[in-house]
Protein backbone atom coordinates (compact mmCIF):
# COMPACT_ATOMS: atom_id res chain seq x y z
CA UNK A 1 0.00 0.00 0.00
CA UNK A 2 1.40 3.39 -0.95
CA UNK A 3 0.54 6.83 0.45
CA UNK A 4 -2.24 7.46 -2.08
CA UNK A 5 -3.90 4.13 -1.29
CA UNK A 6 -3.54 4.79 2.44
CA UNK A 7 -5.12 8.23 2.02
CA UNK A 8 -8.06 6.67 0.16
CA UNK A 9 -8.51 4.03 2.87
CA UNK A 10 -8.46 6.67 5.61
CA UNK A 11 -11.00 8.79 3.73
CA UNK A 12 -13.32 5.82 3.30
CA UNK A 13 -13.08 4.56 6.91
CA UNK A 14 -13.33 8.00 8.53
CA UNK A 15 -15.95 9.44 6.18
CA UNK A 16 -13.63 12.23 5.05
CA UNK A 17 -12.82 13.63 1.66
CA UNK A 18 -9.54 12.46 0.16
CA UNK A 19 -8.18 16.00 0.50
CA UNK A 20 -8.97 16.08 4.23
CA UNK A 21 -7.58 12.57 4.73
CA UNK A 22 -4.34 13.58 2.97
CA UNK A 23 -4.06 16.67 5.21
CA UNK A 24 -4.61 14.52 8.31
CA UNK A 25 -2.04 11.92 7.20
CA UNK A 26 0.53 14.60 6.32
CA UNK A 27 -0.03 16.32 9.68
CA UNK A 28 0.41 12.99 11.50
CA UNK A 29 3.65 12.23 9.68
CA UNK A 30 4.96 15.75 10.35
CA UNK A 31 4.09 15.50 14.06
CA UNK A 32 5.82 12.12 14.42
CA UNK A 33 8.88 13.39 12.53
CA UNK A 34 9.10 16.53 14.69
CA UNK A 35 8.84 14.49 17.89
CA UNK A 36 11.58 12.10 16.76
CA UNK A 37 13.82 15.01 15.72
CA UNK A 38 13.36 16.43 19.22
CA UNK A 39 14.49 13.15 20.76
CA UNK A 40 11.04 12.05 21.95
CA UNK A 41 9.32 8.69 21.56
CA UNK A 42 5.89 8.47 19.98
CA UNK A 43 3.81 5.71 21.57
CA UNK A 44 0.47 4.82 20.00
CA UNK A 45 -1.09 2.36 22.44
CA UNK A 46 -2.10 -0.83 20.66
CA UNK A 47 -0.30 0.14 17.46
CA UNK A 48 3.35 0.63 18.35
CA UNK A 49 6.18 2.95 19.34
CA UNK A 50 8.39 5.11 17.14
CA UNK A 51 11.81 5.97 18.58
CA UNK A 52 15.31 7.04 17.58
CA UNK A 53 18.30 4.76 18.09
CA UNK A 54 21.91 5.87 17.92
CA UNK A 55 24.25 3.67 15.92
CA UNK A 56 27.89 3.97 16.86
CA UNK A 57 30.64 4.38 14.28
CA UNK A 58 32.05 1.03 13.23
CA UNK A 59 34.27 -0.68 10.71
CA UNK A 60 32.86 -2.54 7.74
CA UNK A 61 34.15 -4.22 4.63
CA UNK A 62 33.52 -3.05 1.08
CA UNK A 63 32.24 -6.24 -0.57
CA UNK A 64 33.67 -5.32 -3.99
CA UNK A 65 37.21 -4.40 -2.95
CA UNK A 66 37.37 -6.25 0.41
CA UNK A 67 38.92 -3.13 1.92
CA UNK A 68 38.11 -2.10 5.49
CA UNK A 69 36.03 1.08 5.58
CA UNK A 70 34.78 3.32 8.37
CA UNK A 71 31.03 3.58 8.74
CA UNK A 72 30.00 6.85 10.40
CA UNK A 73 27.77 7.05 13.47
CA UNK A 74 24.16 7.95 12.77
CA UNK A 75 20.69 8.11 14.22
CA UNK A 76 18.09 5.70 12.92
CA UNK A 77 14.31 5.68 13.26
CA UNK A 78 12.89 2.52 14.80
CA UNK A 79 9.39 1.13 15.13
CA UNK A 80 8.29 -1.55 17.57
CA UNK A 81 4.85 -3.02 16.97
CA UNK A 82 2.41 -3.02 19.87
CA UNK A 83 0.71 -6.14 21.20
CA UNK A 84 -2.61 -5.53 19.41
CA UNK A 85 -0.94 -4.94 16.03
CA UNK A 86 1.29 -7.95 16.55
CA UNK A 87 -1.72 -10.14 17.37
CA UNK A 88 -3.71 -8.81 14.41
CA UNK A 89 -1.13 -9.86 11.85
CA UNK A 90 -0.47 -13.32 13.27
**Pairing of β 48-55 and β 58-61:** unpaired
What is the number of domains present in the chain? 2
Domain containing 15: what range?
A: 1-39
Q: Cβ distance 72 to 55 under 8 Å?
A: no
How confident is the model at residue 45, as a pLDDT?
94
Same domain, 17 and 46: no
How confident is the model at residue 71, as a pLDDT?
95
Could you list the pLDDT tens digit for every one of the 90 residues in the chain? 999 999 999 999 999 999 999 999 999 999 999 999 999 999 999 999 999 999 999 999 999 999 999 999 999 999 999 999 999 998
Same domain, 52 and 83: yes
How confident is the model at residue 66, as a pLDDT?
92
Same domain, 32 and 55: no
Question: Which CATH number does the domain housing residue 57 bear?
Answer: 4.10.520.10
Amino acid sequence: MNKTELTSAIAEKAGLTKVDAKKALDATIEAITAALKGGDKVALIGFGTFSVAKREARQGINPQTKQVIKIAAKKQAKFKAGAELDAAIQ
